[in-house]
Every structure is written in structure tokens, then in C-alpha cells.
Amino acid sequence: MSNAPLMPKATAVWLVENTSLTFDQIAEFCKLHPLEVKGIADGEVASGIRGHDPITSGQLTREEIERSEKDSSHRLKLAVSKVRLPEAKRHRGPRYTPLSRRQDRPNAILWLVRNHPELKDAQIMRLAGTTKSTIAAIRDRTHWNSASLTPMDPVTLGLCSQIDLDFEVQRAAKDRPAQVEDHGPTLAPAEETTQPFYYEPTTHEEVFGTAPKPKEAEEEEIDLDSVFAKLKDIKTKE
């Protein structure tokens, strides 16, 4: 059960008008800021809201109000309801967006698209309460107001809660395939580094032990006298 009363601002209006409670007591009970309660008393805030009697609705007792009026340090306590209400089921459809926040939805969509590209369109639709065509227009920069859009956190804008955003981000991260990071070159495996080294000779000197003689050197070593002597022997035989 929530610790805040039903219709907190309307309840604050009634307490300001019908009790002598301090601003801090009313603000803490209604979960409002003390300056907001002061604005209600000055007529600057909630001027069109009709006060809601918490005694009639069973949220406060008259004895609790009188006790708090006598002791300014006493904090109002919400009366325990005798009626047990069933827990509200989570709404699976598009989230309702107040009129004052609808103009900020494109900014929230742009923030989600840039900061969480892993989110699917259906998830963005649930978080921002928008349509698929609007998301596609913002992705493609074909939205009519693309030049003026500014990325803004949907949680800060009040379009969704931080719990809902974290839930959708974690859900998208589970569906995304794992990416293998490239850490650059690595060391060779042990099977390659521990094998005996074998070098295959490739040059003539490495194979036969001596370097081949150049052709000019072979021609210079030919004995001309022996060549002419052989020619003379051949002629005498003929």
C-alpha cells in the first residue's frame, strides 16, 4: 500500500483550508514540497482544484488531525484502510502521456535512440508512449521538427520510471548477440613454439658446401696449349 494519500494535491488544499497544520506537516503527509503547499495557501498553486476531505475518505481521523495541530513536531499518519484492494496489473499497452508532456516525447525518443540503440521500437513505444511511425521519422530525421529536437532523458521528463527504463535496457541486452572484442595480435600457441626447429637449405652453397664458380672464371682456367695439341693429334691420325 502506498504511503501517499489519494489525490494528494486536493487533500493538501482541504488541509490548508480547514486545519491549522503547518506547511511541513501537510507537505510530508501529501508527499509535496513545502513551497508547493505555501503556494496553495497563497492561491498561486492548485487554484482550480477542489479540496478533498481525507476524513470522509477514511485516510485520516479527526483525532490524528487534532493531535498534529497541538504538536507541530508530530507527523500525520495515514489511516489503515479496512478495504483490501487488489494489486493493479502492469499495463502492457502504450503508456498514457499527459498533455503537458506530449510535446517532449520526440526529445525523449531521440535520447533513447542515441543512448540505447539496442532498444527495439516496441520497447521505445512502451517507454515513451509513442507510435512506430514517429520513431521511424526520428531515426530517419524526417520528423517535421527534427531541426529543433534536443535529446532529453524520458525519466527526467516523467514519461517513464527509472525501473521501467532499466528493465527494458537489460531485456534488450539479453537479446543482443555477444560481440567478440578484437584485442590485436596474440602470442603463438605452445604447440608451435615448443616444436624442434628445422631449417631447409635453399642456396647452392648450403646444399653442396661450396659456392658455384662464375662462368668467366671457368673460361679463364682453360689451357689453350692443350687444346691446340689435341687438334694436331687429330690431324696426324687423319
What confidence score (pLDDT) does residue 222 get? 59
State which H helix or E strand residue 12 sits in.
helix 8-18
pTM beyond 0.85, yes or no:
no
What confidence score (pLDDT) does residue 134 get? 92
Compute CA distances 59 → 14, 50, 84, 96, 160, whole Å.
13, 17, 14, 27, 28
At 40 the three-state DSSP class reads helix
Contacts of 147 (CB under 8 A, 6+ apart): none
Looking only at Cα atoms, what is the longest distance across the chain? 157
Q: How far is CA 53 from the centre of its chain?
A: 44
Give me the residues of the chain with pLDDT under 70, please: 1-2, 81-102, 176-224, 227, 235, 237-238
What confidence score (pLDDT) does residue 130 get? 87
- In the numeric block, the cell 578484437 is attached to 182
Strand segments (E) across 22-75: none
What confidence score (pLDDT) does residue 204 get? 58
Closest by Cα among 109, 149, 139 to 126? 109
Contacts of 172 (CB under 8 A, 6+ apart): 116, 118, 119, 120, 123
CA–CA distance, 150 with 134 (Å, rounded to integer):
15
What confidence score (pLDDT) does residue 109 get? 92
CA–CA distance, 169 with 214 (Å, rounded to integer):
77
Torsion, CA 156, CA 158, CA 159, CA 160, rounded to 10: 80
What confidence score (pLDDT) does residue 1 get? 44
Q: How far is CA 145 from the centre of its chain?
A: 24
CA–CA distance, 25 with 202 (Å, rounded to integer):
97
At 10 the three-state DSSP class reads helix
* Contact yes or no for 101/157 (Cβ under 8 A): yes
